[in-house]
Chains A and B, each alone.
Chain A
Amino acid sequence: MNGPRLEEDVALARAIASAALSVAGVAHLSEEPGGAATHAPGESIRGVAVRRSGAGQLWATVELVAEYRPRENLRDLADRVRRAALRAARETVPGGVAGVDVAVHDVAVPVE
């Protein structure tokens, strides 16, 4: 991977992380050891990874912890995260990313 691509991947990961966190129902991004993360000089974005296929197609993974909301479907939440991430990616790089895998790793009970 060359220099400019790393910068682009980091910018994408940052934009996607911020978009995912802004979706209601997302408690935080997953910080599991060995999980998805994007590492760069002086910074790492946990819970988001960007990768390229052989054809140069961009693809992102978002791993998150959802809030425990008994009436909310986590697959709908994942779809909202995917749409937000796709939008953020389009605004960050031309063409955006081809797709976003969303993994719900855990649920957290909101502290009252």
Chain B
Amino acid sequence: MLHRFLKVPVEETVMEERMDVPVAGMESATSQGRTIIADLVVAKIAGLAAKEIEGVHELVTSVGETIAGFAQRVTRADTRGQGVRVALEDGTGTVDLRIVADYGVSIVQVADAIRRNIINRVKAMTGIDIREVNIEVTDLYFPQQEERAEELEAQQRRVA
């Protein structure tokens, strides 16, 4: 059974003095202690799952105020979970992310693959059911353009 511990106090624990956990996350209780999975962990798994899909060039960071981002600022943890927003409630959740897609891929197929991979990975690793994955494709990446830009830069360096 999963509990949203920032909102739902777990009453069946045998502990008399509870220690505050300084991160937002999902908790499950056993008679010998609680298990807490931080929101950042879910955000990071979702981000890695998205990047595993061919056709995803990169994730777009700074989507604004995110729950995982907020947790990171509070705990001063690293920021690799950025670009993915995760909202969790009672064992289920929603993921929002923005990506740059490679030019030439079917965005519909890539988005579908991202969605399924995120749901599978998060379920397998945390037991949390992701009900909704919202994907926004904000830009396309053109490999040839990038190469040309690099060539141009190299030329400029040679001249200078």
Contacts and interface: CB of A to CB of B under 8 A. Distances in A.
Given A33-B76, A75-B126, A106-B38, A100 B19 contact: no
Interface string B75-118: 11110000000000000000000000000000000000000000
A53 interface: yes
* Residue with the greatest number of chain A CB neighbours at <10 A, chosen from B41, B48, B49: B41
Interface string A21-52: 00000000000111110000000000001010
Q: Is the interface of B mostly helix, strand, loop or mixed?
A: mixed
Given A71-B124, A74-B126, A57 B16 contact: yes
A101 B22 contact: no
B17 A51 contact: yes
Interface in B1-27: 14-17, 19, 21-23, 25
A73 B32 contact: no
Contacts of B40: 105-106
Contacts of B143: none
Nearest to A54: B16
B121 A100 contact: no
Contacts of B28: 75
Interface of B: 14-17, 19, 21-23, 25, 28, 30-38, 40-41, 44-45, 48-49, 75-78, 121, 124-127
